[in-house]
Structure 1
Amino acid sequence: MSVDISIGIDDFDPEAVAEIRSRLASVKQQGIRIGFAIESGSRAWGFPSPDSDYDCRFVYVRPVSDHIGLALHRDVIEFPIVGDIDTGGWDLRKALLLALKGNAVLVEWIKSPIAYEEEPGFRDRLSEVLDEIMVPQKVALHYIGLLRRHWQAHGDGPIKLKKLLYAIRPAIALEWMRTTDFRKLPPMNMMQGLAAVSIDHELRKAIDDLVMVKSQTREMGEGMPPERIRSFLAASIERYVDLAERIEPDQEAESRAHHRADIFYQQEVQRAIG
C-alpha cells in the first residue's frame, strides 16, 4: 500500500502563509485580478519534507487598461525568493498559450488541493476550457521531457534523492496516462497516481520508502538509485521515446482549441467591466 502524506494549509507555518498572502495583496493593489493562488511543488505533489519550500503559484488577469495602453507588460510576476518562500504567477494569456502546447503546469495548478485564495468560479471556468483545449498526448510529451531532464542528466553515478523523486513523478504520471490510452490527464499528487497504477510490489515499496525518508528528513543527500527504480525509469524512457512520432497532428482541432482559448481569455479580461 502506498504511503499517504496529506497536508493542508492549516499545517503550514502561519508566518509563511501570512507573507504569501501579503504578496498576493500587493498584486491586487495594482488592479490585477488573481484567479487563484495555490501551493505547487513537493507539498502538493504528495512527497513533502520537513524543510520543503513554500511554492505559491498564481494565475492573474490584468485590467483592460493594461491591454489598450502603449506600455507592454511582462507576462509573469515574480517575487524575490526569501528563505523558504517562493512566489510567482503567470498572466492568463501565457498560461493558456503554454497549455495549448501541452505544458502540464497549468492543469497541475488547477488540481492543487492547497489554495491560498481564489476568485469564486474562476477555477471551474478555466478547468472547463482546459478539458476542451488540452491534448493528453502533448501533455505526455511534457512529462517525458521532465523525466529525461531529471533522470538522464545525472549519468550512472549517485543522484540527489530529492531529484530522484522529481524523475519518478513524471514516470508515474505517464504510467497513469497509459492506463487511459492517453485520453485523460493524471492527478497532480504523485501518490494518488501511484495508487491507481499496476506495478510490481518491490517497485512500489522502493518508491514508498523513498517518500517516507523524504517526509522525515530535512536533507536527503545523495545516493545510488535503488535498482528497481533505476530499471523502471529507464524502461519508461524507452517505452515513450517515439511517442512524438505516434501523435498525428490535427490542424483543425488545434485551430478550434486556440479559438476557444482566445474567446475565454477575452471574456476574463472583460469580466471586471460588466
Structure 2
Amino acid sequence: MKNIILKKLEEIEEKFQVKILYAAECGSRAWGVHSKESDYDVRFIYIHQPDYYLSIDPQGVGSKRDVIELPISENLDINGWEITKALRLFRKSNPSLFEWLNSSIIYYQKYSFVNLIRALECEVFEPVTMLTHYLNMAKRNYEKYLQGSEVQTKLYLNVLRPILACKWIVEYGKVPPIRFNELLDRIIPESLLKLEINFLLRRKMSGEGSNIQPSIKIINNFLKEEINCLELYIKTLSSKNGNPTEKLNALYRATLKEVWNYDLKKS
C-alpha cells in the first residue's frame, strides 16, 4: 500500500504544481489499533511555488484553497494542508497537526521543514488548547455513543483515546504520544479496568470493531468520572503568553528558499 500512497503523492505534486514536505498516517493505523480492514488515513503538508504567494489574495480565499483533498478510494483517505495554513494552526497548538507531526507511520519526508517545526513544538504547545480539544471530543462521543445498553466496540476507543491523551497532558505536561498502547500502559495501572480496555483492543484489531456488545460498566464509570474531573481542572488553567509568529514566519521563508531555491531578498 505504501507504493500506492507514494504514487498518489507524486500525482498530487504534478497536478497541483506543489512540493510535498511531509506525509504521514493519522488514523487507527498510526494509533496501533487497526485491523486488516482499516482504511489508510494519509495527511500531508505542501508548499506552492513562490509566485503563488505573490498576489493580493491570501491563501484560503476564493479560488486559492489552502487544502488539497482527494476522493476516498481503495480504502485510502488522503488530503493535505498548505504550509501557511499548517503553520497558523501549529501556532494555535492544533492537536490534529501535532498528531500528524508525531505519527508513528511516516510515508514521506523531505527538506528541513518537519525537523525545524518539531524543534518548536515545546515552545508552541498549549496545554489548555489541547486539553479542551480532547475533552470536547471525548465528551461528544461519550454522550452520542455510550449511553445505551449496547455499544459498538470501536466507539469505546473513540472516547478512551482522547481521555487518556488528556490524562497524559495533566500528568506529564507535554504532547501525548500517538500510539494507544503507550498511553494505556503509562496512564492506567494494572487493574480490571485495564483488562477490559485490552479486551476491547483485541476485539477491534481482530476485525470486530463494528460489532455490538453490552456496555462495560467499569469503563463507562471511568470515562464519566474523568470527564467531570477534567472539566473542573481545565477551569483552573490559564494560557501561555508566548507568541512564536516571527519564528514561524522565518521557518516559512526558509522553506520557500530551500524547496524552490528562491531568495525573498531579491524578489
Q: TM-score, normalised by structure 1?
A: 0.85
Moved more, 95-104 or 202-211: 95-104
Asked whether 1:156 is paired with 2:147, we answer yes
The CA RMSD measured in Å over matched residues stands at 2.0
CA shift at 1:144, angstroms?
Answer: 0.8
CA shift at 1:120, angstroms?
Answer: 4.3
Q: Give ranges in structure 1 of 5+ residues lacking alignment.
A: 1-15
Q: Quickly say closer, same or farther: Cα 1:41–1:250, change in 2 above 3 A.
A: closer
The 2-side partners of 1:73 and 1:135 are apart by 29
Q: How does 1:73-222 map to 2 (within 5 A)?
A: 73-154=64-145, 156-157=147-148, 158-180=150-172, 183-217=173-207, 219-222=209-212
1:227-267 deviation digits (Å, cap 9, x = unpaired): 1111111111101113443222444x1xx223322332232
Query: Any conservation in 2 of the 1:104–1:142 contact (CA below 8 Å)?
Result: yes
Q: Give ranges in structure 2 of 5+ residues lacking alignment.
A: 58-62, 263-267
CA shift at 1:51, angstroms?
Answer: 0.4
Percent sequence identity over aligned pairs: 26
Q: Quickly say closer, same or farther: Cα 1:266–1:246, change in 2 above 3 A.
A: farther
Number of paired residues? 254
Match of 1:24 in 2: 9
Q: Quickly say closer, same or farther: Cα 1:219–1:140, change in 2 above 3 A.
A: closer
Moved more, 161-170 or 18-27: 18-27
Query: Any conservation in 1 of the 2:152–2:209 contact (CA below 8 Å)?
Result: no
Match of 1:4 in 2: none
Asked whether 1:267 is paired with 2:259, we answer no
CA shift at 1:59, angstroms?
Answer: 1.0
Query: Any conservation in 1 of the 2:17–2:48 contact (CA below 8 Å)?
Result: yes
Query: Any conservation in 2 of the 1:133–1:261 contact (CA below 8 Å)?
Result: no
Match of 1:257 in 2: 244
Q: TM-score, normalised by structure 2?
A: 0.87
1:138-186 deviation digits (Å, cap 9, x = unpaired): 2111111211122122252133221211111111111222222xx2111
